[in-house]
DNA sequence: ACCTGAACACCGTTCAAGT
DNA sequence: ACCTGAACACCGTTCAAGT
């Protein structure tokens, strides 16, 4: 996706190309692809190794254990968030980062939970928040206030994305890419995920919950925060 | 194993008391306790069964599989959130629910991620949000607006809690219960969770990030939302 | 010194054999 | 009809035996 090598031959991105030397980056890249395609629980040291055309134990020379490998994937995900150019003011900056974090959930729905599940602080996350803090301070925010704002923004954006994923994610990841589901499809999909004894009243509530335009709703909460911030002053 | 019915013995709340009949509730209860004590990945069908003094396969007559069991635990967690009395106005209501969701993260730090990781819609969550919607509508919110507010609030509260857990959670769960860590303890704990090559500049950023008073910071973001809501009108 | 794959100690779940 | 536990197909990781 991001990496364009301009090779003479069309990359088939299959087991054939897996004959390059084994690097940390390549492992992580294939690992993320595996999660995207088959889900987080399908990422197995053995499966990943065979995908790379390599002995399972070979992975352990690049990562201490599976946890460390997942930490690496999480760091990659954080690394996909980039700041807009220097000319954007603080409000647009916050809006941009929040939107990017939300969009990341659609780019990597099965991997997204790694953003918060890890037991380390991803370096990319620290660098991102530090760069944001610097920009906010330049526009007059106090240091601590800047930190609070960033933390609140991250919490909302990621939290919203995870709520959406946990209530809307189809079992098959195909829908995410294509056009929105029909009402019928949405309802049947919903019914599958409710206990059989759910009262009709609650089914209706659930349907309402999952029917809102997700993007609009995300913006609503984001606007709440930004409005509050402007009311309070920086 | 033979069934022993020693009714005269005082409850020691250990494996002895595990001789009660196996019910869905008891399984879930012990399962949550196991997660609280040993972490989510330590919850094993086999371990849980032995904790209950039961054959592993016995669990499968109450739950289709491990996923269904975890769904049940998630539902229990949602069930711990209760609404305040009818006399509280909408702002206090929202504040109360958000705070409860946040507090739940401290009561069950190792299980908290289940709130959002499940592939079903927990019934308790639907009932909670539906009850909230009703209350908000009674106070003049439009139906859709009420839904948006609830969703935004859930997102922020849970998101904040998960951000806090993922950046602050000590490896040993003891600290959560006791008094706050000292600065030194916090710093060393932080250093353990950063890559060895982290530049000093970023270490400082990370330290700042994890040092804020968590509770105060949570309230800051919550206030942002509520202020925004009041500015915009209901 | 590096690389490998057999082996260990688990896991969720199936299934056949017991009652 | 219910209950049980052996067995299957995995898993992450150790470790000794190869090079």
- What pLDDT does A224 receive? 95
User: What's the pLDDT at B70?
Assistant: 97
Give the residue from chain B lying closest to A109, CA to CA: B117
Cβ pair A169, A159 in contact under 8 A = no
CA distance B62 to B57: 10
- State which residues of chain B have pLDDT below 70: 1-20, 168-181, 233-234
- Chain A 63-92 residues in 7 Å CB range of strand D: 65-67
Q: What averages of pLDDT result for each successive group of 10 residues across chain A (234 residues)?
A: 37 45 92 96 96 94 95 96 96 97 96 91 92 95 93 97 81 48 75 80 81 85 93 68
What does the pLDDT look like over A137-169, one tens digit per residue?
A: 999 999 999 999 999 999 999 999 999 998 865
Distance, in Å, from the CA atom of A26 to the CA atom of A108, rounded to the nearest integer, reads: 18
Q: Which of A95, A205, A213, A219 to mutate to test the interface with B (most CBs of B within 10 A)?
A: A205
Residue B22, nucleotide of least CA–C1' distance: D3
Q: What is residue A193's predicted lDDT score, i.e. its pLDDT? A: 79
End-to-end CA distance of chain B: 62
**Cβ(A163)–Cβ(A218) below 8 Å:** no
Residues of B with Cβ-Cβ distance to A186 under 8 angstroms: none
- Residues 20-79 in A contacting B (C-alpha not used; CB under 8 Å): none
| CA atoms of B105 and B165, how far apart (whole Å) | 8
Domains in chain A, start-ordered, CATH in brackets?
2-63 (1.10.10.60), 78-168+180-232 (1.10.357.10)
Contact A221 B158 (CB under 8 A): no
pLDDT score at B135:
96
Euclidean distance between CA atoms A50 and A143, whole angstroms: 48
Helices of type H across B54-194: 66-79, 90-107, 114-117, 123-138, 143-168, 174-177, 183-192
Residue A173 contacts B where some CB pair is shorter than 8 Å:
no
Q: What is the pLDDT of residue A204?
A: 82
Predicted confidence at residue B126, as pLDDT, reads 92
How many angstroms is C1' of D1 away from CA of B61? 14
* A57 CB contact with strand C at below 7 Å: yes
Measured between alpha carbons, how far is A35 from A87 in angstroms, rounded to an integer? Answer: 36
Residue A224 with chain B: CB contacts under 8 Å:
152, 224-225, 228-229, 232
Buried b (16+ CB within 10 A) or exposed e, A180-194: eeeeeebbebbeebb
| B152 with A156: Cβ contact below 8 A | yes
Contact A136/A63 with Cβ under 8 angstroms? no
A191 close contact with B: CB closer than 8 A: no
Compare all CA atoms of chain A with the CA of B125 and give the residue at the minimum distance: A206
């Amino acid at each position: 996706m991001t990496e364009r090598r301009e090779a003479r031959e069309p990359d088939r991105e299959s087991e054939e190309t897996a004959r390059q030397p084994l690097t940390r980056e390549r492992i992580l890249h294939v690992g993320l692809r595996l999660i995207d395609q088959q889900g987080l629980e399908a990422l197995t040291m053995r499966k990943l190794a065979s995908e790379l055309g390599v002995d399972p134990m070979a992975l352990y020379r690049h990562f201490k254990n599976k946890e460390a490998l997942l930490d690496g994937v999480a760091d990659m995900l954080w690394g996909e968030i980039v700041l807009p150019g220097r000319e954007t003011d603080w409000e647009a900056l916050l809006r941009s980062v929040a939107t990017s974090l939300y969009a990341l959930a659609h780019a990597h729905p099965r991997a997204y939970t790694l953003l918060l599940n890890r037991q380390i602080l991803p370096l990319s996350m620290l660098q991102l928040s530090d760069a944001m803090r610097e920009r906010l301070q330049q526009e007059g925010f106090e240091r601590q206030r800047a930190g609070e704002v960033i933390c609140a923004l991250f919490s909302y954006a990621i939290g919203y994305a995870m709520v959406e994923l946990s209530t809307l994610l189809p079992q098959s990841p195909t829908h995410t890419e294509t056009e929105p589901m029909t009402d019928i499809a949405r309802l049947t999909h919903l019914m599958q995920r409710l206990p059989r004894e759910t009262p009709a009243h609650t089914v209706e509530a659930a349907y309402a919950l999952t029917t809102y335009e997700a993007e609009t709703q995300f913006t609503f909460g984001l606007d709440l925060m930004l409005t509050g911030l402007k009311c309070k002053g920086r």
